[in-house]
Chains A and B, each alone.
Chain A
C-alpha cells in the first residue's frame, strides 16, 4: 500500500499550490485528482490576480501576499505561468459608482495598499479602446494576470522536482478515520493511500469530501460565463472590471442603469487579453448547481455589456464561450485551516472568483499550518472555527 506524509485531494490551483509548498518543505506528497490536473474550475476561468476585487481587511491582505508570491514564483519557475504585471482598472459608469469607488479606494489605501482614483483621460491613455463617456475609475499598478491552468501545470512541474507524485483519474471514495477521529487513509477507486494528513482542495466539490469525515462545508457552486474573441491586437492592455462588479459582488441590492437582460442575469464587464492574443470577456455569477452549459441569453448580455465599455468589440468575432463553477463560500471568505474535530484534515477551498489570485498564499498558509511554522500573517479569520456555533441554514440564506 502506498504511504505519504500528506495527501492533497484535488489537482486544481489550490491543490497544486499546496502540494508544491509541502513538497518543497521535504514532505512526501501525493495529489489525488478525479480527472486531470487543472480540469475543473482552474481551467474554466480568467487569470486575474488582483487585490482590487477584495473587501478591505483580511481579504485584501491575503490578495496582496498572493500577488507578491506570483511575482516571485514566476521568476523562480522554469515553467512559464504567463504572469504579467499589467495593472488593473476599475471603470465607473455613473457618479454614484464613482463616489462608492473613491470611498472603497480610500479604505484600501488606509490599509497601506496602493489604489488611486483616475480620470477618464488617464483611463483612455491606458486603454485606447475604452468608451470615452465614462466617469472615472480606480487604478492598481501592482495587479496582474496569469494563465490559470498553466499555474497548475507550473506548480506540478516544480513540485515534481521535490518528489511530488500525481495520481490523475483517481476518484476518492472515502477517508478512513482512527479511534480519535484522526485521518488514517484515503480510499480511492484505484487503491488506498495511507496518510495522517489530508488536504481537501476540491473547490466546489469540497463539500463531498467534507461529508466523508462528517463535516458540512458551506460551499456552493456559483457559475461564471466567459466569451473568447478571435486573436487580434491587444484589446485590453490591463485587467479591466466595471466597478458595478464589485458592488454587485458584495451588495445584492445595488442597481445599475442597464438593460433588462443585463440586469436579469447580473452581468458585469470583466475583460483581459491573454498572452495568446485572445481576449476573454465576462462575466456573471449565477447559482445553477453544477450545470456548465453556455446560456444563450447570458452570452447576449455579456456581449452587450462588453460593447458598452469596449465598442471595438462589436465587429470582433466570438469563437467560444465557456462556464466555470466558482466555489462560493457563505461568508465570502475562503476556508484555509485545519479542522480540530478531525485531526489531520485540512481545508483549502471556497475562494469563489478569487481562487487563481489567492492560490499562492493559500498553499503557503496550509503548508505553514501543517509544518507548524509561523503563518505569513494571522489567518484566524480564514479558519474552520469561524463556523462553530453558527446557524448554517441561516448563513445559507442568500439570493439565488
Chain B
C-alpha cells in the first residue's frame, strides 16, 4: 500500500488503462471505483473489472487518503461471465 505505482503501469488490461490515467480521473473528480470506470473505462472490458478492481481501489485509497472500504466497487450485473446471445435467448442455434 505504501509504495506508489508508476504512472505508466497498466492497471486495466482489457481496456489498456494506466495508473496515470486513473490518477487523472481522480483529479477530475472521481470518488470511487464507478467514478473511475466512467471516466477511464477501467473495468468496462471483457473481464468486467475482475482483474483490475482491487488495484483501482488501492490507487483511490492512496490518492484520496481514504480507507479501501470507502472506495466502493463496481455494481454486480449479470452475466457472471460472457455468454452468447444465442444461449441467452434460449438456445438459438
A57: min CB distance to chain B, Å: 35
B1 adjacent to chain A (CB < 8 Å): no
Decide if A307 touches B85 in the complex (CB within 8 Å): yes
Contact yes or no, A303 B88, CB < 8 A: yes
Contact of B89 among A230, A294, A307, A319 (CB under 8 A): A307
Map CB proximity to A onto B61-79 as digits: 1 under 8 Å, 0 otherwise: 0000000000000010111
A317 within 8 A of B: yes
Contacts of A307 in B (CB 8 A): 85-86, 89, 92
CB distance from B26 to the nearest CB of A (A): 12
Across-interface contacts of B86 in A (CB, < 8 A): 303, 307, 313-315
Instruction: For the complex, give the distance between the alpha carbons of A330 and B35 in Å.
Output: 32
Nearest Cβ on chain A to B77's Cβ, whole angstroms: 5
Please tell me if A166 contacts chain B, counting CB pairs below 8 Å. Answer: yes
Whether a CB of chain B sits under 8 angstroms from the CB of A36 is yes
Asked if residues B31 and A315 are in contact (CB atoms below 8 Å), the reply is no
- For chains A and B in complex, what number of residue pairs have CB atoms within 8 angstroms? 90
- Are the C-beta atoms of B30 and A317 separated by less than 8 Å? no
Min distance, Cβ A74 to any Cβ of chain B, angstroms: 19
Contact A321 B84 (CB under 8 A): no
Q: Scan B11-55; emit 1 where CB is below 8 A from any A CB, else 0.
A: 000010000000000001111101100110100111010000000
Determine the chain A residues whose CB is within 8 A of the CB of B77 once the complex forms: 294, 320-322
Contact among B15, B38, B88, B90 with A318 in the assembled complex (CB-CB below 8 Å): B88
A168: interface (CB < 8 Å)? yes
> A149-B38, A314-B85, A319-B82 are known contacts. Are A169 and B90 too (CB-CB below 8 A)?
no
Contact with B along A35-71 (1 / 0, CB 8 A): 0111100010000000000000000000000000000
Tell me the bound Cα distance from A317 to B32 in angstroms.
28
Asked if residues B29 and A299 are in contact (CB atoms below 8 Å), the reply is: no
- Asked whether A39 and B34 contact (CB < 8 A) given A300-B90, A307-B92, the answer is yes
Measured in the bound complex, the distance between the Cα atoms of B38 and A37 in whole Å is 10
Partner of B48, one of A229, A299, A320: A320
- Is residue A304 within 8 Å, beta carbon to beta carbon, of the partner chain? yes
Known: A36-B29, A321-B79. A153 touches B88 (CB 8 A): no
Pull 30 A–B residue pairs with CB atoms less than 8 Å apart, ordered by A.
Answer: A36-B32, A39-B34, A157-B28, A227-B88, A229-B85, A231-B46, A276-B41, A294-B77, A296-B78, A299-B88, A303-B86, A304-B89, A304-B90, A304-B92, A313-B85, A314-B84, A314-B86, A314-B92, A315-B84, A316-B85, A317-B84, A317-B85, A318-B79, A318-B83, A319-B46, A320-B48, A320-B77, A320-B79, A321-B78, A322-B75
A residues apposed to B, CB below 8 Å: 36-39, 43, 149, 153, 156-157, 166, 168-169, 227, 229-231, 276, 278, 294, 296, 299-300, 303-304, 306-307, 313-322
- List 8 A-B pairs, minimum CB-CB distance, nearest first: A314-B86, A317-B82, A303-B89, A304-B89, A303-B88, A313-B85, A303-B85, A36-B35
B residues contacting A by CB (< 8 A) are: 15, 28-32, 34-35, 38-39, 41, 44-46, 48, 75, 77-79, 82-86, 88-90, 92-93
Contacts A153-B38, A313-B86, A314-B93 known; 10 new A-B pairs at CB < 8 A: A39-B34, A153-B39, A156-B29, A168-B31, A303-B86, A307-B89, A314-B86, A314-B89, A317-B85, A319-B45
